[in-house]
Amino acid sequence: METEKKYKLSGQVHVKAMELALSLCEPGSSLLEIAERTENFIRKQGAIPAFPVNISINEVAAHYSPIIDDTSEIPDHSIVKIDLGVAVDGFITDAARMKIFDSKFEKLKTSAEHALFAALKKINDKVNVYEVGAVVEKTIRKEGFKPITNLSGHSLGQYSLHDGLSIPNYGKNKKLWKPKDVFHKNNAYAIEPFSTTGKGIVIDDDLETIFIHYSQLRNTPSPQAREVFVYIKKHFYGLPFSPRWLVEKFSKKQIEQALEELTEQHVLHGYSVLKEITNKPVAQAEDTIFLKENGKKVILTRKKVSNS
């Protein structure tokens, strides 16, 4: 199967998985249940989760995925971002949607959505990433909010979630553009504007809920950590994973000790939960777009696969 077909298949699974996740997301529902049911649904479709389902609430912008035995629930009056990824033979689609449980978030929500639509419209194989970033920034500011400047969209590759090109959520003087920062045909890109009522910067929280296999073993790990490492290497294809995905095979204690040891040795990398610096609410909208050989684009993660 050619690349484009695999991407489209990945997108179709994504659309259905997102529908399921959103239908499960209501105040009082368990984050763990939303994540696990959605991830299992993706697996049942013959695909794999490209990363653990992210459920980021209010001032949390990204990278919160339920932990082992997570007891947290969707709070009342919240804004919730569900960000999920699907991989078919390594071809990844990545998209996020929001649910708001208070009308006070309506304008914030739509500002991120409007910025996403404007960015998708702007993309072609001639524009610089900062031209797209400028459109994102302008749209969000015009609606009275701030873009989060230290989060960005990204190119996608086979089994590669961040494949080298970043698509910023702000513009930059043309003189500072680099000629290499452009979009390419036959490539997929995740575009993800974030907007906030806060300062527009995210910082690392202490908590890490998502990990990735980062480099080969250097020092000799303990036999228990090695066992976990071998499993990770074999099953997660170098994509981000959740410690939850190890509980079938290992005890919670062994998982926690292995993660600690292997992150210490920089064999694994843990992603920090990202919070808005002033603890203000954050909105996010994201789609994956494919630039075809003929220059046309396909939004892979929308129900009606639109060609333009």
Active site residue: 73, 89, 162, 256, which one? 162
Sheet containing strand 91-100, strands side by side: 48-57, 79-88, 91-100
Closer to Co ion by CB, 9 or 116: give it: 116
The Cα 11–Cα 13 span in angstroms is: 5
Whether 205 sits among the annotated catalytic residues: the reply is no
Alpha-helical runs (H) found in 25-105: 31-44
Catalytic residue among 131, 137, 261, 286: 286
Q: Does 287 bind Co ion (CB under 5 A)?
A: no
Instruction: Rank residues 162 and 292 by Cβ distance to Co ion and give the closer one.
Output: 162
In the complex, least distance from residue 299 CB atom to Co ion, rounded to whole angstroms? 14
Closest CA to 239 of 58, 39, 81: 39
Closest to Co ion by CB, 59 vs 83, is 83
Closest distance of CB 57 from Co ion, Å = 16
CA distance 18 to 34: 10
User: Is 264 a residue of the active site?
Assistant: no
Asked about 192 being catalytic, the answer comes back as yes
For residue 191, count CB atoms less than 10 angstroms from its CB and return exposed for 0-12, middle for 13-18, buried for 19 or more: buried
Provide CB contacts within 8 A for 260, sequence distance 6+.
none
CB of 80 to Co ion, least distance (A): 14
Partnered with residue 160 across adjacent β-strands are 157
Residue 70 a catalytic site member: no
CA distance 232 to 228: 6
Residue in 36, 59, 70, 83 annotated catalytic: 83
Binding mask 171-200 for Co ion (x = CB under 5 A): ------------------------------
Which residues have CB under 8 Å from 229's CB, separation 6+?
213, 217, 221, 258, 262, 267, 268
We find the least distance from the C-beta atom of residue 84 to Co ion, in angstroms, to be 7
| Token pair belonging to 81 | 């971002």
* Rounded least distance, CB 40 to Co ion, Å: 19
Binding window for Co ion (CB under 5 A); candidates: 27-35, 132-140, 217-225, 281-289: 281-289
Binding mask 66-105 vs Co ion (x if CB under 5 A, - otherwise)? Answer: -----------------x----------x-----------
| Annotation says 83 is catalytic | yes
- Exposure letters 27-47 (e unless 16+ CB within 10 A, then b): eeebbbebbbbbbebbeebeb
- 131 noted as active-site residue: no
| Of residues 36 and 83, the one with the C-beta less far from Co ion | 83
- State the nearest-atom distance from the C-beta of 285 to Co ion, in Å: 10
Residues at the site binding Co ion, with contacts judged by CB under 5 A: 83, 94, 286
Q: Hey, which residues are catalytic here? A: 83, 94, 154, 162, 192, 286
